[in-house]
Amino acid sequence: MNRLNITKEYDFILMGLTDSKEIQLVLSVLFLLIYLVTLMGNTGMMLIICLDARLHTPMYFFLTHLSFLDLCYSTVITPKTFENLFTSIKNISFIGCFIQLYFFVLFGGAECFLLSSMAYDRYVAICSPLHYPVVMSRRRCHALLTGSYLMGALDSSINMLCLSRVNFCGSHVINHFFCDTPAILALSCSDTYVIELIIIIVSGSTLMVSLLTISVSYASILSSILKIGSTSGKRKAFSTCASHLLAVTIFYSTMIFTYLKPKRSYSLGKDQVASVFYTIVIPMLNPLIYSLRNKEVKNAVNRVVKKRENSRQ
């Protein structure tokens, strides 16, 4: 059956995470709770930063959009996963599958470059503090943000263009809980070597360029911190980037494990565990990481709460 017919006559079937009804029920409740925490955590982070004038700095400008991206790409994946687990409705339309994949790659790619922009911001703050207001101007921050979204859109568009050349003539069962590039390529009955190579190069470039920027930034940061004489000064300098470094480590380790390998290395069990982590768990963890380890955010929450209490009196 050719590609045109399958797009008209077939839905894709998402196999999900498990066939056990009991485990499906447990996972559906767990994912619902995680998604609710993700919604509240990321929305709360954006509101706190918006309402507290002291957080209107480049660092928290980028953090606002990190919360937005986490909220977006979690929403692209988690509700459909919950539906599949809770209702056992595993089908997704051909168009719906590729829309899900397009926005997932877009938001994921944008987050890679946003994390590198945040690393550059910390580099300037620690290594060139006197020039920080000039270097990280409003214009520069908006340029970095716009570039992050544009690079994510470019990555996603190239990914879609490549997959549009793939022929599906056999099974339409996706061995995954969402429409992901390796799982879709696994359904192809044609030679996908060139397409796979292009996708790996594009995705690898996104990961490696952003990761290289982060690595160089933190190497410079570490060098500057080691030159600080006092222990308290070193601790204070490191605390300003510890949360971001932790978030970067978790995010990139799972992404590299999943995507920087050929289709023949695709493993349903291992890739699903990694995918659950970066699509569902990490968007919940990021606001917790940045709030629990950040005194400025905690103080901002207290100020906003007190201000609302005073306004009611």
pLDDT per position as a tens digit, 136-171: 999 999 999 999 999 999 999 999 999 988 888 767
pLDDT per position as a tens digit, 225-275: 888 777 777 777 777 777 778 888 888 887 777 766 555 555 555 667 778
Cα dist from 162 to 151, 249, 305, whole Å: 17, 29, 50
Q: What is the pLDDT of residue 307?
A: 72
Q: How far, in Å, CA of 162 to CA of 102, rounded?
A: 12
Please give the model's pTM, rounded to 2 decimal places.
0.87
* Domains delineated in the chain: 3-305 (1.20.1070.10)
Find where tokens 């006559």 sit. 9
Helix (H, G, I), strand (E, B) or coil at 57: coil
Q: What is the pLDDT of residue 309?
A: 65
Instruction: Give me the residues paired with residue 13 across strands.
Output: 91, 173
pLDDT band at 8; cut points 50, 70, 90: very low
Cα dist from 220 to 126, 137, 183, 217, 242, whole Å: 9, 21, 39, 5, 14
